[in-house]
Structures are given as C-alpha cells and as structure tokens.
Amino acid sequence: MTKEVLVSIAGLQYENESDEAIELISTGEYYFRNNKHYVMYDELLEDKEGDSTATVKCTLKISEKQIEVIRKEPAAVHMIFELGQNHMTYYSTPYGDLMMGITTNSIKIEENEDVIDVELTYALDMNYQFVSDCKLTIKIKSK
C-alpha cells in the first residue's frame, strides 16, 4: 500500500419507512504501525442545501478484531466497532451532544497488496433508543 490513498466510505441505515444511504470519497494518507492500518483523511460537512460548511479531520484505525472511526470537531465522534460488543460514545453536533451506542454484528476485512476492503454491520442507538440496523463499507486503495 502506498502512502497516498483513495478512501471510499459507503453507509446504509435500514429504517422502517426508507433506507438512507451516504457515500464519501476522499484522498488520504496511509500508515501501518503496531499491526494496525491507519488512514487519515478529510471529510467535508454539508448543510441542508448541499453547500460545504466545514472540513473535519478523520482517522480510521483498522486491526484484526476492531475498527475505529475518529472524527474531530465540529462533528466529533469516536466510534469503535468490535464484534459482539456494545460501545458507547458521545456524538458532538453543533446542536449538542448525543449518546451513541454501537453493537457490531459482523466485521469482514480483506487485505491485498494495494487494497483494503472492510464491511461492517451494526445496530445503532441514540440516547439509549434503537435507531436502525446499519451497514458500513470502507475501501482503501493505493492512489
């Protein structure tokens, strides 16, 4: 894997009335240290009209049994995905903090010379109330 990478993150929330999809594609920097893959990238936050309002620094940490997604202000969160575990974290928004719970149901990681594919399924709750089942797909590819 090269230092310069392309990061693609696609998420899907399965809700009763409709499924909500998100997708992010960004460039980033890749490192491998202490048996973990690290990827640093920027994410643009958009307002309701689709205009970019802020850039958020993000970090992915990928190890054999755990995936971490760390976002800095103004939308700070530290999500930990670990099979069969429930991890609680605060999700900071401009409107206040929410307590977020993540219960990981499956983790699939495929590593090749120039590509890392990650697929996660998990249950999401906010303020101790179930919100939806979710799927997150991450692809890191040498640039």
Instruction: Give the pLDDT score at 31.
Output: 96
Instruction: Give the pLDDT score at 48.
Output: 56
Instruction: Give the pLDDT score at 121.
Output: 96
Task: Report how far residue 66's alpha carbon sits from residue 47's, in angstroms, rounded to the nearest whole number.
Answer: 31
Q: Kindly report the CA angle at 126 between 40 and 56, in degrees rounded to 5?
A: 25
Instruction: Give the pLDDT score at 16.
Output: 62
Number of H helices, E strands in the chain: 0, 10
User: Taking the chain (143 residues) in consecutive chunks of 10 residues, what is each chunk's mean pLDDT?
Assistant: 94 74 92 96 74 84 95 90 94 86 96 95 94 95 94
